[in-house]
Structure 1
Amino acid sequence: MPQFVASDGHSLAYRDEGAGRPLLFLHGLTASSALFAPQAAAFATSHRVIRLDLRGHGASGADPDADIARVTDDVRELIEALDLNDIIGVGWSLGAMLLWGLLDSPAAARFAGAVAIDMSPKVGNEPGWSLGLVDMSMREGEPGESWSDRSKRIAGLIVANGMADARTTLIDKMALVMSDSDPATVAALGTSMMEQDFRDVLPRITVPMLVVHGGLSRYYPAATAAWVADRLPHGRQVTFARSGHTPHLEEAEAFNRLLADFAATTPTTNDASRSEPATPHPGR
């Protein structure tokens, strides 16, 4: 995987495949770019597919001091280094939060549209707000639990109950990817994620956005996706009835059809000629 050096000197791994309109995929906490493999396989022949491993995830180095602002800057800096424009951003869970931050910044000019997968603008619940994480205990480790065992347990919570063989295979694949993440970085980003509140940001996001929800998600209720879509000027909720927290994996073919249609019908806002592969500037 190519390496990108962020402004603070931290090295990050990313995948850059194909050519055409850029599709930028941002994964969730404890995951990696590998969990967008079904999308890369489907779109790399028709689009430019960029997948970043966030700090402490996949092939990117650990950073126990990481926070949401720094990781958002990582994504922005990679976008600038690769000179990406007319982007369709796809953010799953934590990745959706990063997209919301980018779309409420000057970087928004480089985006044409976005897809947010099963995420709340405020993860923690409080009086007057109950659309965050359904069960906060899911974030906690169990006494004596190894990182590998925790990864498998969390993967089991992410994936909806369904056909046993298919579910077991997906859980095993996810757990293997998740076990490669750095526990200290994950803990730091998890703490920072809990401090974020994007509720007031959503009305300022002007690009069209699909708000995707897994109908069997144990993370966020359907009301969360409806609330987010309603606050966005150009938001539309889409529910995948047989999915949990990962519709892009659990119903990959249907998700890919949705994304293909969205990319095809979202107006081009930038010079498409600038979407061909580029090499990061010297030192990156």
Structure 2
Amino acid sequence: MSHNLIDGEVSFDVPAAGKPCTTHYRISGDLKSGKTPLVVLHGGPGCTHDYLLNLVTLTSSHGIPLVFYDQLGNGQSTHLPDKNGDTSFWTIQLFISELENLLRHLGIQDNFDLLGHSWGGMLASSFAVTKPKGLRRLILASSIGRMKDWVAAGLRLQKHLPQDVQDTITKHEAEGTTSSKEYEEAIGVFYSKFLCRIEFPEILLKTFVWMGKDPTVYGTMNGPSEFHVTGPLKDFDITGDLHKITVPTLVTHGHFDGAQYEVVSPFFNNISAKVRWVTFAESSHMPHLEEEERYLGILGDFLQGDL
């Protein structure tokens, strides 16, 4: 990534945290250029912004300013490992409040586009149904309308793995030994087919390193793996509120994605505004990395097209 990114931090007041908190953000391009900035919400929950950094190409190709940030508990933002397991602390509302705080700090709350990948799309859609006045366009990338659909799709995809890998996953989930090396390796096989089908780029590996250092958020909100969801997100279902989203929306996913057809179709079927849905035939959960050129072209066209 040769682009010059400006780093910054904003204080985020979270009384229940028991200490001062900050959100670390990075800006590509000029927020005062007159172009609507794209704010990028990373997945996880518990990832970092790093694996989405190739989106900076949109600044040079289309002049679009971008805002990346690490959500609380992750990356270069404040970590709160003592809140591990505290499901009353790690809530969707916490992350909506953090996003609102960042938008205000940057002065872009009255005019912005939003891209949420995976969990980031769950966060973005949860925010969009509140009809934030400055939201202009929405991109839901490999995201989830109802968690039970995602889990069902993941279990179905798991059946495509070698039998010994399936057996290893089932055994460790049943025995509660999901932190074992054997389980980790078996999940790695799943990831190579249904998370990212190319050799993992450096920016994705960087995100995994951060998650390994502090799995607090992912472990608390989600659970041990993509299809063994034991945290409060297991009950996530925004499908009944999607009609409240009234901004033009782009829905993307990969053919081999954990976000299969039935996982993303509620967005297309229920959002009130104009929705464009693109499936990337050679991709799984990371089309922005797996089919980068096509993906960025479609994003740029959507963001700069007529409303």
Secondary structure of the residue that 1:261 maps to in structure 2? helix
Contact 2:42 / 2:117 at 8 angstroms: preserved in 1? yes
1:220 deviates by: 2.3
CA deviation map 1:163-193 (0-9, x unaligned) = xxxx2243x6523322212212221232232
Q: 1:187 maps to which residue?
A: 219
- 2:11 and 2:186 map into 1 onto residues whose CA distance is 30
- 2:259 and 2:296 map into 1 onto residues whose CA distance is 22
Q: Which has the higher contact order (CA 8 A, sep 6+)?
A: 1
Greater helix percent: which structure? Answer: 2
Q: 1:34 maps to which residue?
A: 50
Q: 1:58 maps to which residue?
A: 75
- 2:133 and 2:24 map into 1 onto residues whose CA distance is 24
Relative to the length of structure 1, the TM-score reads: 0.80
Q: 1:127 maps to which residue?
A: none
- 2:137 and 2:210 map into 1 onto residues whose CA distance is 31
Number of residue pairs matched? 254
Secondary structure of the residue that 1:102 maps to in structure 2? helix
Distance 1:132 1:201, change over 3 A: farther
- 2:215 and 2:106 map into 1 onto residues whose CA distance is 29
Counterpart of 1:222 (choices 261, 271, 279) is: 261
- 1:75 and 1:13 map into 2 onto residues whose CA distance is 12
Q: 2:120 maps to which residue?
A: 95
- 2:49 and 2:293 map into 1 onto residues whose CA distance is 18
- 1:145 and 1:4 map into 2 onto residues whose CA distance is 37
- 1:74 and 1:250 map into 2 onto residues whose CA distance is 30
Secondary structure of the residue that 2:210 maps to in structure 1? coil
Q: Rg larger in 1 or in 2?
A: 2
- 1:176 and 1:243 map into 2 onto residues whose CA distance is 20
- 1:132 and 1:110 map into 2 onto residues whose CA distance is 33
Contact 1:123 / 1:194 at 8 angstroms: preserved in 2? yes
Contact 1:160 / 1:216 at 8 angstroms: preserved in 2? no
- 1:50 and 1:114 map into 2 onto residues whose CA distance is 14
- 1:155 and 1:175 map into 2 onto residues whose CA distance is 12
Counterpart of 1:82 (choices 96, 100, 106) is: 106
- 2:194 and 2:154 map into 1 onto residues whose CA distance is 12
Distance 1:232 1:87, change over 3 A: same
1:48 deviates by: 1.6
Contact 2:221 / 2:233 at 8 angstroms: preserved in 1? yes
Question: Which amino acid letter does the alignment assign opposite residue 102 of structure 2?
Answer: L
Contact 2:71 / 2:77 at 8 angstroms: preserved in 1? yes
- 1:255 and 1:199 map into 2 onto residues whose CA distance is 26
Q: 1:279 maps to which residue?
A: none
Structure 1: which 5+ runs fail to align? 125-129, 162-166, 268-284
- 1:149 and 1:160 map into 2 onto residues whose CA distance is 15
